[in-house]
C-alpha cells in the first residue's frame, strides 16, 4: 500500500458517489441504536428500493451526529442538506418522498442553532459523515494519508517535533504534554521492544466522548496509534476497551481487520520496515483500570491495582518495557496534526491549552449530547448557547466537570474560559470531558455523596487511605445528608479529605476528595443547613426533621 494506491481507493469511492443526488445518513451509534435507528435505516433503504431510486440515492449508516437527546437522527445530504430528529421507521415514506423537494417540516431539526454552528470539529470531523464499517469511506475522507506521509517522508523525531509544536495535551484528564510523553518513550532504551496503548476505559460516569469516537470513526484512532508507534519505536499496540461498550469493541475489531487486509497495519507497512500489530483487550468493570499502571496490570492478567509511580510507564510499563499510553481523544487528534502541521493546531485554543476539546453535555440542560469546541470558550456559551439553557425555566446552579475526580463550578464562574489552568484554579479539572449541568433541584451534599459512593465502590483496596478513608468520608456525607451530623463531623470530614488527597497511592484516591472540597468551597452554606438546621433546600435529601425544629 502506498500513496498512489491509497488515492486510487479514495477516487474509486468518490466516483461511486458522484452520480448520487442525495445521501441519507442514519446515525447508528449506541444512543440512536437504542432508539431503534437500525430499523429506521432498514425502512429508508427499502423505501428507496421500492421507488427504484438506488442509483440516485444511497442510505448509509453513520456515526454520532452529536445531539443525542433528539435521536434517532437522520441527515439528508445533497443539494440542500436537512437534518431530521426523532425519526421512526414510519417516517421513511415521507422522507424519501421529500428528496429534491421541500423537507418534511414536522421532523426538521434546525442546524442553524449554536449547538451545531458554534462547534469546531477536529476529533469529530468524520463522525456522522462516514460509514464506520467501511475503511474506503475513511480513506475517501483523506484517512491514512497522514500515516503514509509520516512513514515515507518524516523521521520519528520529526513526527514527535510536530506533535510538540502542536501543544497537544493528554485528553484523558491530566493534560500532560503529549509531545513530551512521546519523546520520553522514544528515548527510553529497550532491547525487548516497546508498546503503545490506547486507554479506552472511559470510566467517568457521564462521559461518552471516547465511546462515540470509537463507534463512529475507529480508523482515526488506529491511525493515531500507528503514527505514535512509528514515532516512539513500538511494534505492538493494545486498545483497552471497557466491556460495557460492545459496539465499540465490534467496530474496532472490524476496523483492525480491514486495516490489516489493506496493508495499513501488520508487517512492513507501506513497504517500509515499520510493523505494528494492534490487539484489543477488554476491561471488566473496574473504574480504577483507567489509571495507567492499573490498566497495565489488567493487560498483564492481574487484578487492576495501581503501582507506585515512579517508575513511570514511559520507562517501565507493560511487562517492564517502555510504554506509551494515551487516551482515545488524544490519538484522534494526531492524524489532523500530521496532515495540517503542529502550528495549525497551536493556532486554536488558548496559550497553554491548544486545540479543541470534546465534551459530553448531560444533566439538566436542553441539548444533551456531544460537542467539540475550541479551548477557551466560556462555560456560559457551552451551557446556554450550545446547551440551550436549563429546561423548565429553572435556575443554573453549577456544572460538574471531570467526573468523580473533578469539582463543581458555580454561577460566578460562568464567564471563565474552559481550559486546563482555569478549571484547576477554581478547584475542578478538565477531566475526560464529562459536563453535568445542575439546577436548583440538585443538592450539593447529595452530589458529593454520590461521587464519594462511586469512589468507595471503585477503590481497588490496595492502599489504606483510599480503601478506608473513602468509606468513612461517605458515611459522614450520609450522616450530613440525613440530618444526623454535627460540627465535629464536618471537621473530621475535612481532615480525612486532606489526608486521602495527599497520601493515596494513585489518582483515584488522590482526587476522590475533589467533589467534596469543591462543594464545600462554594456551597458550604448547604452543608451547614443540613447540619445546623437539618434542612435540605433542594429537597433531594431524605432529611427527617425532628419535631419542633424550625425549617
Partner 1 sequence: MQPFASKATTPSDDRRWKMVDATMRKHGNEPSALIESLHTVQESFGYLDEVALRYVAQSLRVPYSKVYGVSTFYHFFTLKPQGEHTCVVCTGTACYIKGAQRLLDTVGEAAGIKAGETTSDGKVSLLTARCVGSCGLAPAVVFDGQVAGKVTPDSVSQWLGKWAKPVESRAVVAQ
Partner 2 sequence: MKKQVQIKTLKIEGRDVSATGEQTILQVALENGIQIPRLCYVEGLSQFGACRLCLVEIKGSNKLLPACVTQVEEGMEVTVNSERLANYRKLILELLFSERNHICSVCVVNGHCELQSLAVRLGMDHISMPYLHPKMTVDASHPRFTLDHNRCVLCTRCVRVCGEIEGAHTWDVKGRGMDASIIADLNEPWGNSESCTSCGKCVHVCPTGALFEKGKSVAEMSKRKQFLPYLTLMRESWQ
Q: How many Å apart are CA 332 and CA 160, to the nearest integer?
A: 15
CB nearer to partner 2: pick between 338 and 429: 429
Cell of residue 457, nine digits: 465502590
Strands in 402-520 per DSSP E: 407-410, 434-439
**How many residues does the structure list for the chain?**
551
CB nearer to partner 1: pick between 322 and 369: 369
| DSSP string for residues in 104-159 | -GGGB--TTSHHHHT---STTTTTTTS-TT-HHHHHHTTTTHHHHHHHHH--HHHH
State which of residues 458, 483, 497, 523 lies at the interface with partner 2 (CB under 8 A). Answer: 458
* Minimum CB–partner distance for residue 288 and partner 2 (Å): 8
Name the packing angle between helices 514-532 and 444-458 (round to 10°).
130
Chain residues in the site for partner 1 (CB under 8 A)? 30-31, 33-35, 67-69, 71, 202-208, 211, 243-245, 281-287, 298-304, 360, 362-364, 368-370, 400, 403, 434, 436, 438, 442, 450-451, 454, 457-458, 460
SS3 428: coil
CB nearer to partner 2: pick between 65 and 473: 473
Q: Binding segment for partner 2 among 191-199, 366-374, 379-387, 491-499 (CB under 8 A)?
A: 491-499
Q: How many Å apart are CA 459 and CA 466, to the nearest integer?
A: 7
Q: Could you give the count of Cα atoms lying within 13 Å of 248 in the half-sphere of its Cβ?
A: 27
Question: Per CB under 8 A, does 464 bind partner 2?
Answer: yes
CB nearer to partner 2: pick between 387 and 469: 469
- Closest among 15, 313, 82, 351 to 188, alpha carbons compared: 313
Residue 465 touches which member of partner 1, partner 2, none, C-beta under 5-8 Å by kind:
partner 2
* Minimum CB–partner distance for residue 459 and partner 2 (Å): 4
Question: Per CB under 8 A, does 449 bind partner 2?
Answer: no
CB nearer to partner 2: pick between 83 and 508: 508
* Minimum CB–partner distance for residue 525 and partner 1 (Å): 21
Which class for 436: exposed (0-12), middle (13-18), buried (19 or more C-beta within 10 A)?
A: buried
CB nearer to partner 1: pick between 179 and 387: 387
Is residue 376 a contact partner of residue 420, using CB atoms and an 8 Å limit?
no
CA distances from 350 to 84, 293, 337 (A): 35, 31, 17
Which helix (H) or strand (E) segment holds residue 529: the answer is helix 514-532
Number of residues that bind partner 2 (CB under 8 A): 30
Q: How many Å apart are CA 198 and CA 196, to the nearest integer?
A: 7
CB nearer to partner 2: pick between 52 and 308: 308
Q: How many Å apart are CA 405 and CA 510, to the nearest integer?
A: 8
* Minimum CB–partner distance for residue 174 and partner 2 (Å): 14
Question: Per CB under 8 A, does 301 bind partner 2?
Answer: no
Residue 203 touches which member of partner 1, partner 2, none, C-beta under 5-8 Å by kind:
partner 1
Question: Per CB under 8 A, does 459 bind partner 2?
Answer: yes
Question: Per CB under 8 A, does 496 bind partner 2?
Answer: yes
Residue 403 touches which member of partner 1, partner 2, none, C-beta under 5-8 Å by kind:
partner 1
Residue 469 touches which member of partner 2, partner 1, none, C-beta under 5-8 Å by kind:
partner 2
Residue 499 touches which member of partner 1, partner 2, none, C-beta under 5-8 Å by kind:
partner 2
Residue 273, Ramachandran bin (φ over 0: left; ψ between -120 and 50: alpha; else beta): alpha
Task: Tell me: cis bond preceding 435? Omega within 30 of 0 counts.
Answer: no
Would you tell me which residues interact with partner 2 (CB under 8 A)? 286, 303, 307-308, 310, 456-465, 467-472, 475, 492, 495-496, 499, 502-505
Amino acid at each position: 500500500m502506498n500513496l498512489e494506491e491509497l488515492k486510487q481507493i479514495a477516487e474509486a469511492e468518490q466516483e461511486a458517489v458522484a452520480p448520487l443526488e442525495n445521501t441519507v445518513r442514519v446515525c447508528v451509534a449506541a444512543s440512536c441504536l437504542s432508539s431503534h435507528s437500525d430499523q429506521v435505516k432498514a425502512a429508508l433503504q427499502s423505501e428507496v428500493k421500492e421507488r427504484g431510486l438506488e442509483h440516485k440515492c444511497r442510505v448509509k449508516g453513520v456515526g454520532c451526529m452529536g445531539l443525542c437527546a433528539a435521536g434517532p437522527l437522520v441527515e439528508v445530504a445533497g443539494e440542500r442538506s436537512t437534518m431530521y430528529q426523532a425519526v421512526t421507521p414510519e417516517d421513511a415514506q415521507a422522507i424519501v418522498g421529500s428528496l429534491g423537494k421541500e423537507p418534511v417540516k414536522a421532523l426538521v431539526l434546525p442546524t442553524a442553532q449554536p449547538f451545531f454552528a458554534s462547534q469546531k470539529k477536529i476529533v469529530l470531523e468524520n463522525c456522522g459523515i462516514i460509514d464506520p464499517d467501511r475503511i474506503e469511506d475513511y480513506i475517501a475522507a483523506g484517512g491514512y494519508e497522514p500515516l503514509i506521509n509520516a512513514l515515507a517522508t518524516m523521521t520519528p523525531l520529526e513526527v514527535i517535533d510536530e506533535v510538540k509544536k502542536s501543544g497537544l495535551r493528554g485528553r484523558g484528564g491530566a493534560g500532560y504534554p503529549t509531545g513530551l510523553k512521546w519523546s520520553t518513550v522514544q528515548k527510553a532504551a529497550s532491547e525487548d521492544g516497546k508498546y503503545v496503548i490506547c486507554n479506552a476505559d472511559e470510566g467517568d460516569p457521564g462521559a461518552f466522548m471516547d465511546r462515540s469516537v470509537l463507534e463512529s470513526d475507529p480508523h482515526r484512532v488506529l491511525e493515531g496509534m500507528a503514527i505514535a508507534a512509528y514515532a516512539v519505536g513500538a511494534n505492538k499496540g493494545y486498545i483497552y476497551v471497557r466491556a460495557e461498550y460492545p459496539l465499540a469493541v465490534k467496530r474496532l475489531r472490524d476496523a483492525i481487520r480491514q486495516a490489516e487486509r489493506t496493508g495499513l497495519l501488520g508487517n512492513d507497512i507501506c513497504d517500509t520496515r515499520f510493523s505494528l500489530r494492534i490487539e484489543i483487550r477488554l476491561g471488566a468493570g473496574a473504574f480504577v483500570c483507567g489509571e495507567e499502571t492499573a490498566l497495565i496490570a489488567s493487560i498483564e492478567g492481574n487484578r487492576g491495582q495501581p503501582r507506585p509511580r515512579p517508575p513511570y510507564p514511559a520507562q517501565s510499563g507493560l511487562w517492564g518495557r517502555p510504554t506509551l499510553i494515551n487516551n482515545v481523544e488524544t490519538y484522534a487528534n494526531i492524524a489532523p496534526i500530521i496532515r495540517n502541521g503542529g502550528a495549525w493546531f497551536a493556532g486554536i485554543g488558548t496559550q497553554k491549552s491548544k486545540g479543541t476539546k470534546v465534551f459530553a453535555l448531560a444533566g439538566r440542560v436542553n441539548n444533551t449530547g456531544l460537542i467539540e469546541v475550541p479551548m477557551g470558550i466560556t462555560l456560559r456559551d457551552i451551557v446556554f448557547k450550545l446547551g440551550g439553557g436549563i429546561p423548565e425555566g429553572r435556575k443554573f446552579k453549577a456544572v460538574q466537570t471531570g467526573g468523580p475526580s473533578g469539582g463543581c463550578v458555580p454561577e460566578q464562574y460562568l464567564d471563565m474560559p474552559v481550559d486546563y489552568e482555569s478549571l484547576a484554579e477554581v478547584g475542578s479539572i478538565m477531566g475526560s470531558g464529562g459536563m453535568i449541568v445542575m439546577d436548583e433541584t440538585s443538592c450539593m451534599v447529595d452530589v458529593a455523596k454520590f461521587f464519594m459512593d462511586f469512589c468507595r465502590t471503585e477503590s481497588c483496596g490496595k492502599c489504606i487511605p483510599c480503601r478506608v478513608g473513602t468509606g468513612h468520608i461517605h458515611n459522614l456525607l450520609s450522616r450530613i445528608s440525613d440530618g444526623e451530623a454535627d460540627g465535629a463531623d464536618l471537621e473530621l470530614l475535612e481532615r480525612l479529605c486532606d489526608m486521602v488527597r495527599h497520601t493515596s497511592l494513585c489518582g483515584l484516591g488522590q482526587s476522590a476528595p475533589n467533589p467534596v472540597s469543591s462543594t464545600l468551597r462554594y456551597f458550604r452554606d448547604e452543608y451547614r443547613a443540613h447540619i445546623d438546621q437539618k434542612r435540605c433546600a433542594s429537597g433531594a435529601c431524605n432529611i427527617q426533621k425532628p419535631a419542633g425544629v424550625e425549617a
